Amino acid sequence: MGKSRALQFVEFDGGCMIPITHRLNHDGYFRKRLKSSRDGGHHVMMHRAIFEELNGPIPDGNEIDHQCSNRGCCNPNHMRPLSRDVHLRLTNRNR
């Protein structure tokens, strides 16, 4: 079985942290493979995995908002949980 790569990031002006060891998906997010002995692993959105690792589970009914508006950013200081309704309102207003 192959080895997993250690995460490596580049920090840009403004503090956005972008993984350089992974590629963006078609929606502009990074995904991370979580290993499981039962199913061989599955992919999760990297920013969500980082947020949960540092803060615990994302509250039910909430999504993670990138306050920097950069979907690829994995800086936990740029993330906050918001209800889906509030998140959609903010996202649509800022586009």
Overall pTM surpassing 0.75 (yes/no): yes
- Model pLDDT, residue 61: 95
Mean pLDDT per segment of 10 residues, for the chain of length 95 residues? 71 94 88 71 88 96 94 95 94 70
- Model pLDDT, residue 37: 56
- Model pLDDT, residue 34: 75
Reduced 3-state DSSP string for 23-90: CECCCCCEEEEECCCCCCCEEEEHHHHHHHHHHCCCCCCEEEEECCCCCCCCCHHHEEEEEHHHHHHH
- Model pLDDT, residue 43: 82
- Model pLDDT, residue 27: 87
